[in-house]
Structure formats: C-alpha cells, structure tokens
Amino acid sequence: MSAFLVPSELIEDILTESWQYSNWRASPGRWHFYKTVLLVSHEWSAIMMNISLHHIILDTARDLTNYHHLYKALEARTSTEEFPSLRKKMFETAHLRLILHRNEFDVCTRSLEEVDRLIPDSQFIEVATLQGSRDSLDVLTMLSHYPSLTDLRICYRSDRYIYHNPSPPSMPTVTHLHLIRSPRNLSAVLVFFPNVTSLRLSTPHFLKNLATTTDKLVLLTIDAPPNHAIAGVKGSSSIRGFGISSALRNGFLQARVSPESGDYSENVVKKEIFVYTGWQTPDGWEAAVESCQLYGVRLERICTYMNSLPVTTSEVYKDWVVGSWL
C-alpha cells in the first residue's frame, strides 16, 4: 500500500510509538529513525517534526544539539512576530523526558541551565536518574520554575539528595505525581508537591504516616505486579506492603467537605484507590476492601499485568516510561 493511502492519524500514531518507546537509551538510533522518516514524503516529514517537538527526549548531548537545530529550523520557517507565541504554546503542552546518567557523555556533563534555556516549559515531564547524584535535586529545582508543569513522573536510583536539603524546591503546579521507586522518606518528598491530587506508587511504601502531607490527595494508584516470592504461588501479588488499613485508620485519604460546603453529602470529595495487579487477587485485598468500605474510600482493582511471570523492581525501573499517564 502506498504511504499516501494510509490515514494521517494512523501514521502519526505509529511514528509516535516508534519515537517514544523504541530503545530509549539509543539516541543515535532514534535520530537515524527521525532522518529516515523525513525522506519518505512531505506529509511524513511534517508529522515527524511535530512529534519530535511535542515528545522531547533529552538523553545525551547529541539530543541537546539536535534540538537546537530543530528550533533554529522552526524559527527560520516562522515569521518573527509569530515565533514567540508559537514557541510558548508548543512548550506548554509538550511532553519532556529527561534522562540523567552519570559518568557518560550525556546531559549531566552539560549544565542543566542549558536544558532550561532550550526547554523553558512543559506540561508532562518524566525524569530518570540512572545513578544517584546531586543532579536529582538540581533538576527538581530547575523544573520548579516551569509554569505549565502539572504531570510529573520520577524514577531515581537513589533519593539521598532529595530530602537531605534545608530548602527543598516547591512545585505547587504539580497535581499528578508518579514515583517509580518509593523514596525512603516519602513524606519529606511530598512536601515538595503541596497540591498533588493524584499519586501513583510503583513500589511498596507504608502509607500510615502520609495523612499530613496528602491533604489534597483524591486518587492513589498503586502497582502490585505478580511476584513469585509470595508464597511460591505463580502470578501472586501483594498490597500488604502499603498498609492500606492502618493508613486509613490514621487519617490517610479521609473524606473532607469541600470549602464551599453546603449539604455534606453533596460536597464530600470522594477519595479513590486504584490497584494495578495481575490476574490473581492480591494478598491483603480482603482487608483493604473492608477498610475502604468502613472509611468511605472507593477501591478498584485493575488487571494490568496479564502475564503470570513475575515483574521485578529492576524491570519496573527499566520500563519506567512505558504505560499511560496518571
């Protein structure tokens, strides 16, 4: 079939998947793919350029250089009067993936201020540090100035620099937060994000002491993939490590009346917990159901991990970018 007979929407979907979810460490291969697509046709070239500008991946120094060239080319094709507003609108809805890995020729060897100048704003941001370093905190400080940032996904190898800091950055615009690895002191990290309404945790963390730092939280999503270490049962998973029952007893996710309270029953903000599991009911599910019914919290189990093979923490980390947003 000729490329011109394929609907533009389907072309865009295929190219977006290829751009985002191919081997995310292979920066040279990603840009080779980009240049190859540009040669197919004018239509494919325009679609590919829009994808690369909307889904920004900064993994190596080469990515920084190529994006500089992209923005220069875009500026050259746009009138001087229109370019500032076009650039502002483009970044406001952009999806930025920033990968920091020490001791390699990558974005960490170049100032984060250069990234800040190149990408001044973004609504959806994913940050991964492949080795614990001071950059873990520096990047949060940089992102705290992004006015459109609402959805943030973080994956850190080490969090020791995150909360051992006398003046942590405040990120009040973030409402949706996804932590691939739960930090040792989650309460201290959540102080950075005072307005989070949706929190996703991909590794277990005891929730009992989070009531004071999650006052605005409406939705908690937790990942409980299959784990062969649980009672030796194939495909089993567990949510006991989150301590949902004890957390609810301690005031976590307690329903509160909205500020514009009139009738209590109509103005209570309904709190929810989504649990992503395998095909088997996770260990600790019955106790969680009973507690959620008692405290008026909606609990829903979603079978996301359909393969019965175990999913390890390293695999969750390796595939941190795969999956839907919160």
- The whole-number pLDDT of residue 320 equals 42
Q: If pLDDT is split at 50, 70 and 90, which confidence band does 17 have? A: confident
SS3 (DSSP) at 137:
helix
Beta bridge partners of residue 124, listed in sequence order: 95, 151
- Residue from 136, 215, 142, 218 nearest 180 by CA: 136
Residue 83 has pLDDT above 70, yes or no: yes
SS3 (DSSP) at 249:
helix
At 104-130, the pLDDT tens digits run: 434 554 556 777 778 888 889 988 776
**Contact call for residues 157 and 180 (beta carbons, < 8 A):** no
Question: What is the DSSP annotation of 26-63?
Answer: -HHHHHHHHHHHHTT-HHHHHHHHHHHHHEEEE-BHHH
At 43-63, the pLDDT tens digits run: 999 999 889 988 988 887 788
SS3 (DSSP) at 200:
strand
Residue 177 has pLDDT above 90, yes or no: yes
- The whole-number pLDDT of residue 312 equals 47
Distance CA 299, CA 55 (A): 33
Half-sphere exposure of 301 (CA within 13 A, CB side): 21
- The whole-number pLDDT of residue 4 equals 56
- Residue from 314, 313, 315, 310 nearest 235 by CA: 310
Distance CA 302, CA 295 (A): 21
Q: If pLDDT is split at 50, 70 and 90, which confidence band does 161 have? A: low
- The whole-number pLDDT of residue 158 equals 58
Question: Mean per-residue pLDDT for 7-16?
Answer: 90
Q: How many CB atoms lie within 10 A of CB 50?
A: 14
Q: What is the percent of the chain with per-residue pLDDT over 90, rounded to a whole number?
A: 23
- Identify which has the larger pLDDT, 177 or 27: 177
Residue 244 has pLDDT above 70, yes or no: yes
Residue 215 has pLDDT above 50, yes or no: yes
Distance CA 42, CA 37 (A): 10
Residue 184 has pLDDT above 90, yes or no: no
Half-sphere exposure of 215 (CA within 13 A, CB side): 8
Distance CA 49, CA 77 (A): 13
Residue 311 has pLDDT above 90, yes or no: no
Distance CA 219, CA 231 (A): 30
At 269-299, the pLDDT tens digits run: 789 999 998 888 899 999 999 999 999 999 9
Q: Are strands 95-100 and 298-303 parallel, antiparallel or unpaired?
A: unpaired
